[in-house]
Chains A and B, each alone.
Chain A
Amino acid sequence: MKVQNILATKGSKVHTVLPDLPIREATALMVQHNIGALVIVDAAGALVGILSERDIVRAVARNQDVGEPVSRLMTRTVIAGSLQDDLSAVMRTMTEKRFRHLPVVDHGQLVGMVSIGDLVKAQLAQYQGEIETLVTQITQGGSQP
């Protein structure tokens, strides 16, 4: 299972904002679209950072002015994935490095985002599928090889 298989069923819509967007508006967008992270791109569309729920929690805890731009708050060292990345490797890396949203870049273009929830769902479907296949073979299977 590849990252591309997951993105195909997510419509590849990614919510991006510019670095100078006020934090207040960014959080409103996250509420509106029911998402846990926003990708920050520059005017040329290049990936410059990611803003996650966790960043917002930190800002709230230190009473940060939500009128400030998201560039003050975003994580700048972003790990990006590619379409052909293996599901198992990505899951392991996200778990080990404790991040929950992975922007996906193809030929320099941001093409989508997968969350740890998407990966868990895909892995669960994979296991269910294997079980389903085995059950079918046991219940329907004859004596043939």
Chain B
Amino acid sequence: MTTQPGTAEHPLRVAIIGSGPAAFYAAEHLLKQPDLTVTVDMFDRLPTPFGLVRGGVAPDHQKIKTVTKAFDGIAANPRFRFFGNVEFGLHVTLDDLRQYYHQILYATGAQTDRRMGIPGEDLTGSHPATEFVAWYNGHPDYRGHVFDLSQERAAVVGVGNVAIDVARILCRTPEELLKTDIAEHAFEALRHSRIKEVYLLGRRGPVQAAFTNPEVKEVGEMAGADVLVRADEVQLDPLSEAALAASDDRTLRKKVEILQGYALRKPDGKDRRLHIRFLVSPVELISDAQGRVARMKLVRNVLVASDTGSLNAKATDQFEELEVGLVFRSVGYRGVALAGVPFHERWGVILNDKGRVLDPDSKQPLAGQYTAGWIKRGPSGVIGTNKPDSVETVMAMLEDLAKGQVLAPSQPEAAAAEALVRARQPLSVSYAEWKRLDELELQRGQTAGRPRLKFTSVPDMLSALGKTPVPTP
């Protein structure tokens, strides 16, 4: 007979895949249950934790990254373990984890981008913004990427926070970048950048733009770049004006006012210029003779209301062309399917019911499998939005536990799981080892007068930890 897990003798064993905000908030909520003993093993395919807090949040936004101190607090719980450099589907599979854990939680985020679906999208010089972000943040998979910064004109498609991050980093001076923890290879490349004009392109108007007020204010205060906005593009159409009036949203009103203020500014004659454009959509990227992006064809849009009052972009018959040699698309993000786990291809998420992973055919929950964060709901909100999201999933996990609906692992002992990981990936990285890497990165930063100097390759990280690959006989 089986005992209900959750006691000191028989803890509830939970595996969390991914180590970003959603993963940590879920671990926190699980570990703080008063009448329940839970042990959490968190897996990440990288040796370093924190997901997009390390690899996504812009390097000139150090304050946002301080949330990792809260994650350190969660990881300090003796019932928490981190297995970095261990990849789900490669080193450990779903069938493996079923033998060691009562519950498995997927929190792997939205790792790839949506495509624009226009001709010329794959020309040389056209990139997903996510790759540029991963590159400047030192993600080991992207350190070898090359972006042609000898170009003078770049376009960033999208007006979300990622798009504005990319545009801002392209506009930053070397002096500004030195105050950040930007990856060394990116600093070197950006230091020699010849970019002069950066275009940030929104398909709808300022009221619908996803970027937030601090980001909009920030681009007006850059040392080496003027911000330019066209008055006619931030003059609200009647539908947007009505929506704004009805919402009584002061933050949104303020955003529009800041942008309208930019339209009145006279440029200071700085080296670079950031043009924020609205109501335009790229319809084609046009190449030069060498197959590189040379121009972008844009269509002007108008806003039309849907039945529900949502304002959508509708293309007109007015086109214009923009000379650009570098294009970054940031028009949405989607998750990546995990081996053996149901995945909704069109939406790029794991379909779920309040965090319970659903069987795609029966639409019934799969016992013992859960999801949280962007792979659960799609990309939305700020870091903190993942807390209520993860709490919802944990509540479902606890409800199911109370009903006895958990997996039946044959080896629910913590030591057994650790032995499995060691056997499959002798070079796994613990939280204590990550903290040593963290300390080293901070020291290297101090020497260089920077907040942090990141390790950007897995072998470098492992060698700094004195871990060497086991030679194959």
- Chain A residues within 8 Å of B, Cβ to Cβ: 1-2, 4-6, 8-13, 79-86, 88-90, 92-94, 96, 102, 124-126, 128-137, 140-142, 144-145
Given A125-B381, A145-B62, 4 more pairs with CB closer than 8 A = A5-B377, A9-B376, A13-B353, A80-B308
Inter-chain contact B377/A8, CB cutoff 8 Å: yes
From B44-52, B230-238, B280-288, B384-392, give the one contacting chain A: B384-392
> For the side of the interface on B, what is the size category?
35 or more
Nearest residue, chain A, Cβ from B358: A11
Residue B19 interfacial (CB < 8 Å): no
Complex contact A9–B352 (CB within 8 A): yes
Q: Which residues of chain B come closer than 8 Å to A90, judged between CB atoms? A: 308-310
A residues within 8 A CB of B60?
145
Instruction: Decide if B77 is an interface residue (CB 8 Å cutoff).
Output: no
* Interface residues as binary, B59-75 with A (CB distance below 8 Å gives 1, 0 otherwise): 01011101101100000
A125 touches B389 (CB 8 A): yes
CA distance A83 to B246 in the complex (A): 22
**B-to-A contact residues, CB < 8 Å:** 60, 62-64, 66-67, 69-70, 179, 208, 243, 246-247, 249, 306-312, 344, 347, 349, 351-355, 358, 363, 376-378, 380-389, 392, 451
Residues of B within 8 A of A128 (CB): 384-385, 387-388
Given that A125-B388, A126-B381, A129-B385 are contacting pairs, would A8 and B247 also be in contact in the complex, using a CB cutoff of 8 Å? no
Question: A8 contacts B344, CB within 8 Å?
Answer: yes
A136 to B388, CA, bound (A): 14
Q: Is the CB of A5 within 8 A of B310?
A: no
Instruction: Return the chain A residue nearest B357 by Cβ.
Output: A11
11 CB < 8 A contacts A-B: A4-B378, A5-B378, A9-B352, A11-B358, A81-B307, A83-B347, A90-B309, A133-B64, A133-B382, A140-B69, A144-B66
Alpha-carbon gap, A86 to B252, bound state (A): 14
A85→B351 contact, CB < 8 A: no
Q: Which residue of B lies closest to A142 (CB)?
A: B66
- In the complex, what residue of chain A is closest to B389 when comparing beta carbons? A125
Whether the pair B66, A137 counts as a contact (CB closer than 8 A) is: yes
Partner of B308, one of A4, A10, A89, A145: A89
Residue of A11, A81, A102, A129 near B381 (CB, 8 A) is A129
A3 CB to closest chain B CB (Å) equals: 8
* B63 surroundings in chain A (CB, below 8 A): 137, 141-142, 144-145
Q: Once the chains bind, are B62 and A144 in contact (CB under 8 Å)?
A: yes
Residues in chain B near residue A134, CB distance under 8 A: 384
Q: In the complex, what residue of chain A is closest to B346 when comparing beta carbons?
A: A106
Docked-complex contact A140 and B385, CB < 8 angstroms: no
Give the distance to chain A from B139, nearest Cβ to Cβ, in Å.
22
Q: Are A11 and B352 neighbours in the complex by a CB distance under 8 Å? A: yes
Note all chain A residues with C-beta closer than 8 A to B344.
8
A129's partner among B351, B355, B387 (CB-CB below 8 A) is: B387
Distance in Å: Cβ of B377 to nearest Cβ of chain A: 5
**Contact check: which of A81, A85, A136 meets B67 at CB < 8 Å?**
A136
Shortest C-beta distance, B133 to chain A (Å), equals 19
Residues of B within 8 A of A129 (CB): 381-389
Residues of A within 8 A of B388 (CB): 124-125, 128-129, 132
Q: How far is the CB of B49 from chain A (nearest CB, A)?
A: 16
Q: How far is the CA of A141 from the CA of B216 in the complex (A)?
A: 21
B378/A136 in contact, CB under 8 A: no
**Known contacts A129-B388, A144-B62; is A84 also within 8 Å of B352 by CB?**
no
Q: Are A85 and B385 in contact (CB under 8 A)?
A: no
- Beta-carbon nearest neighbor of A107 in chain B: B346
B309 touches A89 (CB 8 A): yes
Across the two chains, which residue of chain A brings its CB closest to B349? Answer: A8
Note all chain B residues with C-beta closer than 8 A to A132. 383-385, 387-388
Task: Given the known inter-chain contacts A86-B208, A128-B384, A145-B63, please indicate yes or no for A11 contacting B307, CB distance below 8 A.
Answer: no
Flag if A9 contacts B353 (CB, 8 Å): yes
Which B residues are CB-close (under 8 A) to A79?
Answer: 307-308
CA distance A128 to B382 in the complex (A): 10
Q: A85-B308, A93-B309 in contact; A141/B380 too (CB < 8 A)?
A: no
- What is the CB-to-nearest-CB distance from A125 to chain B, in angstroms, rounded to a whole number? 4
B308 with A102: CB separation less than 8 A:
yes
Give, as a whole number of angstroms, the nearest-CB distance from B354 to chain A: 6
Residue of B nearest to A131 (CB): B384
Residues of A close to B243: CB separation below 8 A = 89, 92
